[in-house]
Structure formats: structure tokens, C-alpha cells
Amino acid sequence: MYKESKWAKEIISMQSNDGSWGYFHSLAMPSKTPITTEQALRRLAVLGYTIKDEPVQKAISYLNDCLSGEKQTPDRREKLHDWDIFTSLMISTWIRRFTKDNDQANSIAEKWASVISFAFSSGEYNHDEYVKTYHEVLGMKPRGGRLIDFVSYYPVSLTADMYDKNTEEKVFDYILNHEGFYYFYNGVLSVLPDTFASKQASYYLAAIEILTAYKNNMNKLGFVRDWLINSRNENGKWDMGSGVNDKVYFPLSDSWRRIEIRELDCTYRIQKLLNSINT
């Protein structure tokens, strides 16, 4: 219902002919450029765009070419991580957010899932095993930068459907009780935000939305479901307040000049999340 919004039209108007939006990386707010490719894809996904839509198809084609080495993202190579590993992780994650029908991205997802699975092979997380398998499977170069903590957006999203049921449960529990979910939320996800009508709560929901891809563990998000149900207003709807307007998750409608429109947007997002938890 938001695909024809002014926000979607503005983003699509900035898309380059090759399918990109210039620089690829940063889940943070744009700085040097109006918007990066992954920021555009995240916002379009929030607004309801899927792989069936031409702008997304163009972007995924571009990312596929970058993953295969036919093209390169224009980003400066960061020294913090092994850039090749990090780039393939980011690109594969965004491809698989829209389609699972990509052999290259699926292969990288399998590698990451095997690294994380080995880390839990003893029944609980073993960081030494994670480091060992990370080097062996991903081929990290000597002095290639620090290892990527898997409790961050990219590995968590990329590998969500790649585990056996037993391993998925261990991974899910670890994520839920980990201090921070990098790129999304600084707190522990098993602890609810103090205030529902807040930007903190909106970012908390963003992390939970990612976790709903772990279908075998939705029963463990019952506390989130109850919190949301109890946070409805007197109209039986949800309103997270004007402070959640971050141009990422909100607004969805063209304008929030009317409170009922903001209420409509918040209700749409939360009901969609509740439907995912209840499946």
C-alpha cells in the first residue's frame, strides 16, 4: 500500500542505469551521498517492494555482477575487516533478502552457516571454534582485519534458513540474549525497550523483524507479541509517536501532519510483525 508513496518515487528516481545508487555500504544514515544502494534497498523493502518490482530486479542484477567480480562497488576498501569477505557477506545478504534463487549468494550463505554451526557443535557457543572455522572456511587473509561478530545484521539475516532445527534453536537463543545486535540495536533483545513510543523501540522492532526469518523459534517471541498487544491505544491501534520518524522505517505515508495517518503507518508495521510471529 506504500509502493506509490513519494518516498518510493524519490528513491527510484535516484537509481543509476546500472541498478545501483552509487556507494553500496552503510546501514547508517547517508553522509557523503544522498543514499547508498543498501539504504535504498532497505527503504524500498520497508515500503513493500519485492523481487517482482523492476527497481529491485535491476539492483539485484547489479549486486550479482559485483558478487561474481564482473563489477565492483565504488566503496573505499575498509581496513577494519577483510574487505573481500565483508563485501561478499553484505552483497549476498541483500540478494537473499529479496530472492533465494541465486547460486552465488546461497553458496556464501552455506559457508557462513557452516562456520556458525561449528561454533555451536559442542552444544553452546565456542568462540575459539568460531575463529578456527572462520579462517578455514572463509579463507581470511593474514592480517585481513578483525573477525566479524556473527550477531550483526548480515550473518543473522543471511543464514536464517540454513540451519538444522537443533542448531537454529541454539543460534536463535544466543542472538536473543547477546549484548547488542550490530547495525540495529544496542541492547539485549530478550529485554523489552523501556518506552514503546520511542525510536529505541522502533530499532528494537527492526531487529525482531530480522529474527522472524527463524521460523522454528517464533514461540520464543511470545513476550514481544504480548508487549505489542498490550501497547495498543484506546482505538485498538498503535502509535509510536512522532520521534520515530527517521526516514528509514517511518514514515510510510507521504505526510504525518495528521496523527491518524501516523497511527495507520505504525499499525501497519506492527500488525505485519505480529502476523510473522504468529505463523
pTM of the model: 0.94
Q: What is the pLDDT of residues 188-207, one digit of tens each?
A: 999 999 999 999 999 999 99
Distance CA 244, CA 58 (A): 30
| Cβ-proximal residues to 89 (8 Å cutoff; 6+ apart), any chain | 108, 112, 148, 154, 155, 158
Asked whether the beta carbons of 43 and 7 are under 8 A apart, the reply is yes
Domains held by the chain: number: 2
Is residue 245 in some structural domain? yes
Q: What is the pLDDT of residue 28?
A: 52
Final residue before a domain boundary, out of 61, 76, 91: 76
Is residue 31 in some structural domain? yes
Final residue before a domain boundary, out of 30, 57, 76: 76
Asked whether the beta carbons of 224 and 277 are under 8 A apart, the reply is yes
DSSP, residue by residue, 161-172:
TSS-HHHHHHHH
Distance CA 270, CA 70 (A): 40
% of the chain residues with pLDDT over 70: 96
Is residue 145 in some structural domain? no
Q: What is the pLDDT of residues 113-129, one digit of tens each?
A: 999 999 999 999 999 99
- Over 80: is that where the pLDDT of 27 sits? no
Asked whether the beta carbons of 270 and 205 are under 8 A apart, the reply is yes
Range of the domain at 27: 1-76
Is residue 255 in some structural domain? yes
Asked whether the beta carbons of 128 and 106 are under 8 A apart, the reply is no
Final residue before a domain boundary, out of 16, 47, 76: 76
Is residue 95 in some structural domain? no
C-alpha triplet 266, 270, 275: angle, nearest 5°: 150
